Structure 1
């Protein structure tokens, strides 16, 4: 007998925009600077909210809802900027300056609010249990060297896709699916490490713009 496994509480979805500018990717690092400045401030604020949430979970088994929504918003904003810039380069639509979900934007992130979280796990999951994932996503984000330039696998693949776009006027669909799988893995680990879920991220590359509906298990 088979049952349908529940989908991940962390939902990362995106669509590949068409058409894409052949050359805009060359200056997106400049265009994204205002977002980078805001994100630095948001991530500074993220750190104390993480600590407060840790103690709240430890004593009450709950992640304070306002802090949860703020931290999801930070991750969501980060994902949109990454998707626009060198985490995918898969849209030319400028990201909104907002923590809220933007249903019409090509890149979306949602995280289901947990009713209860484990007191025991909160002490170890963000550092000890997540170490194997940190090793893997470290390669995704910053473990590749090309000549004098050092960057992660995701950035390298995004730049390859951009060069193909410049030459052939199309973003390779296979590369998009792979990049999405890598980005999805990173964001699942980020949500787990940020204490937003007790569901351990799978060691699995779920490729493509849409989340898998679920998988059948015995």
Structure 2
């Protein structure tokens, strides 16, 4: 009898987010507040990330390589940010407090890894972060910025709300009344966040593979 082999993610960018099956009904109300120490650290980390990306731009342009130390640091910043996002912002999939670390952690419910490229295209670095990524920027912008009008009137006034925000509101209402995060909503939210991270990695010059126009839903990629 042949045993089915487990599906192992093989893509160069892997985003994992394991949904906590026992989420608190109420903790999401204060997670954003509890994560303030992380926000402060991430402000400085993202400043360093931006500076090092500029340094990497010139290194790739001249040598065709992303300096390994800079690459590992910037991936670490993305990993840290993803854990905080997963905990307190655009997923809310765990009650476990994120570690203050740039390093991988298989024990934490959320993690991120990007394979280091041996070489990168020198010419592509000039256009991929702005021109080539424009279609993805438009999609990501529609997902994370206000896309649905709330309110009305003759002039269509009122506030707008993003698709991601709508999904999170649905999830939190369900969590409040049933103590369960709807699996379908969770899978879709993970797919949107995974798309955003792939675009960030591409625009951050970390890979030459163009991000796919698809939602890879669920806790981890399956191809």
- Normalising by structure 1, we get a TM-score of 0.91
Give, in whole Å, the separation in 2 of the partners of 1:149 and 1:33.
Answer: 26
Deviations 1:37-96, CA, capped at 9 Å, x for gaps = 111111111111011000000111100001000100111011000000121011000000
- Picking from 165, 171, 183, the partner of 1:173 is 183
Residue deviations 1:26-47, cap 9 Å, x none? 1111111111111111111111
CA distance in 2, matches of 1:106, 1:159: 21
1:139-178 to 2 correspondences below 5 Å: 139-145=142-148, 146=150, 150-178=160-188
Shift in Å, 1:153: 2.2
**1:186 aligned to 2:186?**
no
Partner of 2:3: none
Which consecutive aligned stretches of 4+ in structure 1 deviate over 3 angstroms post-superposition? 144-152
Tell me if the contact between 1:142 and 1:152 (Cα under 8 Å) persists in the aligned partners.
yes
Question: Structure 1: any 5+ residue segments left out of the alignment?
Answer: 1-5, 214-218
Aligned partner of 2:119 in structure 1 is 116
The count of aligned residue pairs is 208
2:53 pairs with 1:43 = no
1:96 and 2:99 matched: yes
Unaligned runs of 5+ in 2: 1-8, 152-157
Q: Is the contact between residue 88 and residue 154 of structure 1 (CA under 8 Å) also seen in structure 2?
A: no
| 1:13-32 pair list within 5 angstroms | 13-32=16-35
Over alpha carbons, which structure has the higher Rg?
2
Query: What's the counterpart of residue 211 of structure 1?
Result: 221
Q: Secondary structure at the match of 2:45?
A: helix
Please provide the CA RMSD for this pair.
1.4
Q: Distance in 2 between matches of 1:207 and 1:120?
A: 33
